[in-house]
Structure 1
Amino acid sequence: MTPIMSKSAAAVFVTAARIRGGHSWAELAAAMDAPLVWATAALLGRHALSAQQAEIICELLALDDSVAEALRQQPTRTADPAIMSDPTVYRFVEAINVYGPTLKELIHEEFGDGIMSAINFQMDISRRPDPDGDRVVVTFDGKFLDYRW
C-alpha cells in the first residue's frame, strides 16, 4: 500500500501547477466557490478540502488523485520555523509582538474576558491606494468567545 502524500507535498504540486498553468489564487478559490484567503490556506495545506473541492482543483490543475487525497486530509496546524522567518510572514509576527498586548487589552475592554476565535474566523486582504505607496489592509474577523466559569 502506498502512503498518503503529505499536505505539504500536495501544496508543492498545487503551487507548481498553478504557476505553470497561469492560474491565480483567486481563480482557484472561485472554482471551489470558497473565500480567497481560506481557499489559498487550504491549498497550501492548512485546511481540509471537501472531496468535491479537491476534485475540482485537481481537474483544473491536471493533478492526479494522490494530490486530491492529500488535500482532503485534516491538517496539523503547527508553526514552521522556516516560514516564521520569511520577511512577509515575520512582519505579522512583529506586529503581533508589538501590538498583541494592546489588542488583548482593547478586546477585553470592549467585549469582556474572552478571546477572538481563530476557528470561527474569516480574514480578508485588500489594497488601499495611498500617495505614499499602496497600503495592505488585512482584516481579521473572529467570533468573540467569552470565558465561562
Structure 2
Amino acid sequence: MTAVAPRVGVTTPILPKSDAAELVVAARIRRGLTWAQVAESIGAPVVWTTAALLGQHPMTAEQAAGVCDLLGLDDAVAESLRRQPSRGSDPARLADPTVYRLVEAVSVYGPALKELIHEEFGDGIMSAINFRVDIARRPHPDGDRVVITLDGKFLDYRW
C-alpha cells in the first residue's frame, strides 16, 4: 500500500514562518550545506536568502520550491516561505552576543552616521527597502575582520 500525503485543506493553518525557519535550518545543517550554497542554488544574494529563510522576506514560488527541493522539505514549508512576513526581531534574539554587538555599534555610531548622511546627501534617510547588505571576511594581523556593507538608496524628504 502506498502512503498518501495528507491533503491540506483551506481551513488548515499555514505553517508559521518561525517553524518553517527551524525546519530550513535543521535540513541545511543535516545536509551539510552552507547558507552560501543554498543562496547560490536559487541565484540570490546570501544575506538576503538567509534573512528570507529565517522569516524576514517573502520568497517567490520558484525560490521557495528550489530551496525546498534542495533541502528535502515539503510544500507546507514552501507555502510558508512565500508568505509576507511580520518583519523585526524577537526581543530574546537581541540578547544574543553577535546581535547585541551590532545593535551596540548602531547605538554608538548611528548618531554620527545620521549627521554624516545629512551633511553629504541633505535632508533624508537611507532606505532599508531599496537596500543590499553584504558580509565579508578581511584578513588582519590582529585577527580576521568582519566587514558588513549596508548599501541603501538615499531617500530625500520632499515637502
TM-score (norm 1): 0.99
Partner residue of 1:37?
47
Q: Which 4+ stretches in 1 moved above 2 angstroms?
A: none
Partner residue of 2:74?
64
| Candidates 108, 116, 130, aligned match of 2:118 | 108
| Paired letter, 1:147 | Y
Give SS of 1:130's match: coil
Q: Does 1:82 align with 2:88?
A: no
Partner residue of 1:46?
56
Q: Distance in 2 between matches of 1:84 and 1:77?
A: 14
Unaligned residue ranges in structure 1 (runs of 5+): none
| Paired letter, 2:29 | I
Deviation at 1:78, TM superposition (A): 2.3
Q: Distance in 1 between matches of 2:42 and 2:84?
A: 18
Deviation at 1:19, TM superposition (A): 0.1
Conserved 8 A contact 2:60-2:82: yes
Conserved 8 A contact 2:56-2:88: no
Q: Distance in 2 between matches of 1:82 and 1:18?
A: 23
- When the two structures are aligned, how many residues end up with a matched partner? 149
Deviation at 1:80, TM superposition (A): 1.2
Q: Distance in 1 between matches of 2:71 and 2:132?
A: 26
| Candidates 135, 150, 156, aligned match of 1:140 | 150
Deviation at 1:29, TM superposition (A): 0.3
Identity of aligned residues (%): 68
Partner residue of 1:2?
12
| Paired letter, 2:35 | W
Alignment RMSD (CA, Å)? 0.6
Deviation at 1:112, TM superposition (A): 0.2
| Paired letter, 2:17 | K
Q: Distance in 2 between matches of 1:128 and 1:32?
A: 26
| Candidates 119, 134, 141, aligned match of 1:131 | 141
Deviation at 1:79, TM superposition (A): 2.9
